Structure 1
């Protein structure tokens, strides 16, 4: 019996576990370091946290949800969906909560996993599914440790934190800030937003799904499938815009420009991005600019110089007093699998293999690391559509790999195949919009290691069939 270990119980890990079990592999264990499933949707509980991909597409094709309350559901609803998936798909017996894997080493015949409590287990196949958005990024600001008030990152929000009547400083204007600031504005005495670069935005066409819609979804599942297909077509348009299709690009660019024109008012010049649309993540919002215009909200575009016990000093000499400091600074997305120590064939460390930037054939397999297949690995992030679509593509590919291993023994992707794929990725990415600015898509050297350079449908097609010729026995 082929033993499979999956690390991480977020969207990717759950998809892999379910499709493996559906394919007949019953010895599947999902190790989750936290006390609950859900990944980023468990960890991000800040006010206003919600999905920015429409719900019909931000869900599994094998577990459509008839009960979404709105097109862009809030965090708690998505977490509830994932919990129900684990329960309804029969995965609960396979998930080990509170089990942090600190080391994984290839013994020559199997993967030996060491847990934080010292326990060790062996598996035939290793599937890291820790994601790209699991480690919060904190900027190196002088004096950060001196601040006397409450400090939090949006990915570690304390539910007991009360902003009522407080002066709140928010560093960052990315996805979490665009959701958080409008959500707390009515309660805070003052909010100071520190912006390094203005984000590109698009209107968020949210709407509530009423009781009748939910009843129809349950009784006529075809309605959900049609909504999913329609949402997919919309992401095709935005995807073409990001990937450089002129007509789609002009359309989406025009919509974003009109939104700023109508909503930003006197702040229009200060919130206009100075880089190409799509270079950083495009954000969906209906209330960001209106909130920034509120009398008690201050947008600061001067660079942060240092943090003191009382607040934040900027390079223009201004001092911004705060009671609460919020880092809305995203994740260390390019540091794949950190801090897990992974040792492959002949004692090679994955951290050494990825010293110049992470890479993997199809974002899934790394030479020198037999029987290891990544979920949401390098160059599999999507700048415009649902990452869940990519997760399912990867999970289907991994099922094929495990079948091959069960029938013929260990597999290792050929070094020349992985190198050729990586060269293709970097060649295509070099001409993409993502090289035009600094973002979480790129390493410090400028290498884009997160994003897929083509349409999502291309990725689905290229992972549809595992080619045995791409692999060799280790």
Structure 2
């Protein structure tokens, strides 16, 4: 008789990354009796993107009680949209509470993984290597900064830094600051620094649609009630209003001609029309693409802050950096003391530059040369016992990445159970199932808002969205129970 419990205890599993998804993987493995696992983290702390990003104004655009693990509510959130330091503290606390610190090896960067002799040989930057029966790659998508180069960049005399490499030694108050980039990060930084800078120039070649939000504080009485009755937090996490809002939004973005999409566009257009008084500035801030084609931005005060006398919005292309500022293509010179690159991340990299080689020498870098893909964002053909969390085609959008990772981890646990139960030694999605999945996915993206005519990090080099094009309910259903006929087992 197969001893599943012993197999779970013996199976060597390497988890790559101690961010939100990697911590989740560790917790779920422990719960299920997989005790022979390790989490390798390239940095010296947990929390991934919330460790890397420390810029002024950093907040999550998911309501705080929805941005928690379903099994670990947090009574200590101070406001509806949690600030970055609180999110980092939450993940650090969860790590401690679930005993994961002893499972994590910090400053251990995985550089290679090669499938050979029925298992994975995993190499790390310190020159070490070890064997694993299975891998869970939880490297995330927002960890390789996209750092552009401009003519004359080295001539600028002041500090230049990316938003994910914030230089906390730089004094900001009273300075002339240029912010390049109009995504969520750029908007948050501008809002945070508009009252502090003597001059703030927001360089945005492409303006964004912005939806208004309110960010009320949780009172001490409310937080005390959460501590006394955790069900209150669970109710907020699973509130019908939040779920209906998510359903409405996913219906909108997955059907560009839907009434829900029309409602989203009307709401964001009204926000611009009603809150920016100067018609010239209003047109500078008006996008020329459909709302939600790029990730929607929630801001409590961006439109208010860009109307301050010290703030300027510049749509002209940057021509070059000079010693004391930036010159744009129209010849105008903007004197600056500090330049911030809020230019996002190389989202399509995923675990790369790790050198991952699957069965029969299949190289992931070549396989993903044009378009990263993974079945349900979890499994790749010819990469047995190799699982991803928040991989290609996951439901990114404006959904909670924690919720998405929890659905995916349920699928991973079911696939691991196939191995531990003795029904297979190796499992991965078949090439045929992957091809069908990809063709259906690509066809379905044509009706989504992401394919409606804008440039975004959701698109592959051919302009095809790499994001889940269906409803969140369908993703939940697809990941709840594996369709084993889609998987090769050996």
Task: Note whether the superposition's TM-score is higher than 0.5.
Answer: yes
Aligned to 1:275: 289
Q: Deviations over 1:292-350 (max 9, x none)?
A: 11111111011111222222111111111211111111111112222111111111210
Aligned to 1:423: 439
Aligned to 2:43: 34
Where structure 2 has 5 or more consecutive residues not aligned to the other structure, the ranges are: 1-9
Give the SS at the match of 1:269: helix
Of 197-206 and 219-228, deviating more is: 219-228
Selected match of 2:349 from 331, 335, 344: 335
* 1:250 and 2:240 aligned: no
- 1:356, distance to aligned residue in structure 2 (A): 1.6
**C-alpha contact (below 8 Å) 1:334/1:442 kept by paired residues:** no
Aligned partners of 1:140, 1:369: CA distance in 2, in Å? Answer: 36
- 1:443, distance to aligned residue in structure 2 (A): 2.4
Aligned to 2:248: 237
Give the SS at the match of 1:258: helix
Aligned to 1:226: 235
Of 216-225 and 265-274, deviating more is: 216-225
**C-alpha contact (below 8 Å) 1:8/1:130 kept by paired residues:** yes
* 1:448 and 2:445 aligned: no
* 1:371 and 2:382 aligned: no
Aligned to 2:474: 458
Of 238-247 and 309-318, deviating more is: 238-247
Aligned partners of 2:88, 2:458: CA distance in 1, in Å? Answer: 25
1:370-389 equivalences in 2 (<5 Å): 370-389=384-403
Selected match of 1:182 from 191, 209, 216: 191
- 1:170, distance to aligned residue in structure 2 (A): 0.7
**C-alpha contact (below 8 Å) 2:41/2:107 kept by paired residues:** yes
Q: Deviations over 1:401-431 (max 9, x none)?
A: 1111222311122100111111111111122
Q: Deviations over 1:102-149 (max 9, x none)?
A: 111111311111111101111110111111111111234222233221
**C-alpha contact (below 8 Å) 2:253/2:450 kept by paired residues:** no
Selected match of 1:172 from 172, 181, 194: 181
**C-alpha contact (below 8 Å) 2:387/2:412 kept by paired residues:** yes
* 1:55 and 2:64 aligned: yes
Aligned partners of 1:313, 1:108: CA distance in 2, in Å? Answer: 58
Aligned partners of 1:356, 1:337: CA distance in 2, in Å? Answer: 16
Q: Deviations over 1:11-70 (max 9, x none)?
A: 111111111111111112111000000000000000000101101111110111122111
Give the SS at the match of 1:358: coil
Of 260-269 and 20-29, deviating more is: 260-269
Aligned partners of 1:11, 1:381: CA distance in 2, in Å? Answer: 16
**C-alpha contact (below 8 Å) 2:201/2:314 kept by paired residues:** yes
Aligned to 2:6: none
Aligned to 1:4: 13
Give the SS at the match of 1:418: helix
Aligned partners of 1:335, 1:430: CA distance in 2, in Å? Answer: 23
Aligned partners of 1:420, 1:140: CA distance in 2, in Å? Answer: 39
Of 173-182 and 251-260, deviating more is: 251-260
Selected match of 1:285 from 289, 296, 299: 299
**C-alpha contact (below 8 Å) 1:242/1:384 kept by paired residues:** no
- 1:246, distance to aligned residue in structure 2 (A): 2.8
Q: Deviations over 1:265-299 (max 9, x none)?
A: 11211111110111101100011111111111111
Aligned to 1:109: 118
Aligned to 2:308: 294
**C-alpha contact (below 8 Å) 2:379/2:387 kept by paired residues:** yes
**C-alpha contact (below 8 Å) 1:57/1:232 kept by paired residues:** no
* 1:312 and 2:326 aligned: yes
- 1:473, distance to aligned residue in structure 2 (A): 3.2
- What is the number of equivalent residue pairs in this alignment? 473
Aligned to 1:87: 96
Where structure 1 has 5 or more consecutive residues not aligned to the other structure, the ranges are: none
- 1:100, distance to aligned residue in structure 2 (A): 0.6
Aligned to 2:108: 99
- 1:229, distance to aligned residue in structure 2 (A): 2.1
* 1:361 and 2:375 aligned: yes
Give the structure-1-normalised TM-score: 0.97
Aligned to 1:471: 487
